[in-house]
Amino acid sequence: MTANTNFEINLASKPFRRERAENALLAAICAALGCSFLVLLTLFLQTRSSAADLRKHIEAENRTLQRLQAQQQKFSNILRRPQNADVFSQSVFLNELIARRGVSWTRVFEDLGTVLPNNMRLLAIRLPQVPKEDASGTNRVQLDMVVGSEKPDAVITLLKKLQESSLFGAAAVMTQAPPTQNDPLYKYRVRVAYAQKL
């Protein structure tokens, strides 16, 4: 009596594996890497093109700057001539005078009123330098003022308020004088940067 048995025999040297899913995953990864490479290559070419345009723009600006510097040198040479010295000094004087008249003293006193402590008086003030306009259109000047107070600690309050104000900048006490028999006030000469919009 013979037994009827079915045996499955794999004659392959390597056992059967399911490689279709792995191949699909590897193909997807290769496609993603290929897309990333194309995106990076496009970005590289665009950056290279914009860098070339920027270099051309910088070269054009440098040529303009050299041309303007040559013109300025030519005009400076004309102004340095002895026959033009009087006209040049007169124009400098007039420009300084116009700039000084552009400062509103009413506005200066109003702005100082916001920072002066109640127990301090403004005794003298002057504008030692011509205003210079910065990039924001604000005229920066140095105010030289003499203030007086019956208490010496009032000047510390003044310096703090000047420092915190957006209109005033760094302040420095140049000189100080104690009270005398004729004048009972402590006097301080203070120099401070001041910004006034004209």
Cα separation, 33 vs 35, in Å, equals 5
CATH of 104-197, one of 1.10.3470, 3.40.50, 3.30.460, 3.30.70: 3.30.70
Q: Which of 5-14, 94-103, 115-124, 176-185 has the lowest mean pLDDT?
A: 5-14
Contact 161, 177 (CB under 8 A): no
Q: 135 pLDDT exceeds 60?
A: no
Degrees (nearest 5) of the Cα angle 63, 65, 66?
65
Strand partners, 191: 144, 172
φ, ψ of residue 135 to 5 degrees: the values are -65, -25
43-76 pLDDT, tens digit each: 999 999 888 889 999 999 999 999 999 999 988 8
- The chain-wide mean pLDDT, for the chain, equals 81
Cα separation, 103 vs 112, in Å, equals 14
Q: 190 pLDDT exceeds 60?
A: yes
- For β-strands 168-177 and 120-126, DSSP reports them as unpaired
Domain residue limits, the chain: 21-80, 104-197
Contact 120, 158 (CB under 8 A): yes
In terms of pLDDT, which residue wins out, 189 or 198? Answer: 189
Residues 6+ apart with CB under 8 A from 75: none
Predicted pLDDT of residue 8: 62
% helix / strand / coil in the chain, to the nearest 5? Answer: 50, 20, 30
Q: Which of 38-42, 107-111, 120-124, 136-140 has the lowest mean pLDDT?
A: 136-140
